[in-house]
Amino acid sequence: MVLLNSLNPLKAKNLVEGKYADGQGLWLVKSERTRGKWVLRVVVQGKRREMGLGRWPDVSIAEARELAAEARRKLRTGIDPIAQRAEGRKKIVRLTVQEAVSSCFEARKAELKGDGEAGRWMSPLSVHVLPAIGRTAIEDLDQHTLKKALEPIWHSKADTARKALNRLSLTLKHAAALGLEVDLQATMKVRALLGKQRHVAEHIPSMPYKDAPTFYKWLCEQTSVAALPLRFIMLTAARTSEVRYARHNYIAERVLTLPAEITKTGREHKIPLTTEALSVIQLARTVDDQELLFPSQKGKVLSDATMSRLMERQGYNYRPHGFRATFRTWSEEQTDAEYEVAEAALGHTVESKVTRAYQRSDRLDKRLELMNKWEQYLTSQR
């Protein structure tokens, strides 16, 4: 005899702790006399499963039977009601733009220089975008919302707006990978709404090479923590970020080998060190176990702005990174150095992939000769 609708409200109320069948796989499981839960036992793909249908007495017998009947109907049509409900619960979760950006950033940390600790990846978003739309659900993000957030900086801070938009595109792809229904074309659509940027790209201000010896002489007289790394940047034509993260164990046989993870190009870069460059490193070494070549006063990585501030206080509008252009202009106009040698000194690649497969020289000897001439020129007024 098939058990069917064996429970009623009064009977359910009077039952003590235990499990009680109502029929067709529906059970009332009472943890106490006054409360319990409804459970439906079903067979999904040959395996017996239990599906919760809610708390008793919040869910009545009639409602529990209705929910059980609906679950059995889905099973007959080949739908797993347990999996379907789990999927539905996932969609209820509303991820904000702020949370999606943070999740995307965490997933991409390994690709970023120094695991993104410098904050450059997050900065365009945290300063200009997230304050405006950070609380918006990522699934509600469309071109109109993005337009309101980016419009104030689209022309005035074009590069920042471009970076912010690129990171938002990555965030939307990340959200889609999480299973969220997002508009992957929102960033493309907002470009059409905002139009072409009027901003004209400007080169980083660089000091004329004729002024460099005078400035270097002044720099040698300074005691600021920024003076020594700035001297090193001038002597080596290295990038500021590479110098800030450079360590003593990167040096061997008068060559500083910068690993790929801290270079802008993502490739290892070797820098031959002149006598003056080595002496600057020694002046910056305050303790024997010092790891960084030029640490901050607290022993950590030097701030990106520290060297710029030193130049600004002296009234210079140039930037530390501009000394790469200073060196390159000097080498072009004042030396007969080969083009490939001067470019290699800057860490640039000039050969094609095919040529690089056969030409594997770092040109270190020729570069050292060029950097020695540059050192002599810089120190000529000291």
177 and 214 in contact (C-beta within 8 Å)?
Answer: no
pTM for this entry: 0.57
Which of 91, 86, 7, 92 has the alpha carbon at shortest distance from 49? 86
Whether pLDDT at 90 is above 70: no
Predicted local distance difference test score (pLDDT) of residue 200: 57
Q: At what angle do helices 158-177 and 186-194 cross, to 10 degrees?
A: 160
Same fold for the pair 9-91 and 97-194: no
Token digits for 174? 């990340």
Q: Give me the residue spans of the domains in the chain.
A: 9-91, 97-194, 209-381
**Cα separation, 208 vs 115, whole angstroms:** 35
Kindly report, residue by residue over 126-181, the tens digit of the pLDDT.
999 999 999 999 999 999 999 999 999 999 888 899 999 999 999 999 999 988 88
- Gyration radius (Cα) of the chain, Å: 33
Task: State the fold for domain 97-194.
Answer: DNA polymerase; domain 1 (1.10.150)
Token digits for 275? 């006598």
Kindly report, residue by residue over 256-302, the tens digit of the pLDDT.
999 988 888 888 999 999 999 999 999 999 888 899 999 998 889 99
CATH, range 9-91: 3.30.160.390
133 and 172 in contact (C-beta within 8 Å)?
Answer: no
**Per-residue DSSP letter, 230:** H
**Cα separation, 82 vs 24, whole angstroms:** 17
Kindly report, residue by residue over 176-206, the tens digit of the pLDDT.
998 888 999 999 999 999 999 886 555 678 8
**Cα separation, 164 vs 320, whole angstroms:** 25
| Chain centroid offset of residue 166 CA | 11
Buried b (16+ CB within 10 A) or exposed e, 123-135: ebbbebbbeebbe
Average pLDDT estimate for 339-366: 72
What number of other Cβ atoms are within 10 A of residue 48's Cβ?
9
Token digits for 268? 């290892």
209-381 placed in CATH 1.10.443.10: yes
**Cα separation, 64 vs 82, whole angstroms:** 15
| Chain centroid offset of residue 112 CA | 6
User: What are residue 48's DSSP bridge partners?
Assistant: 43
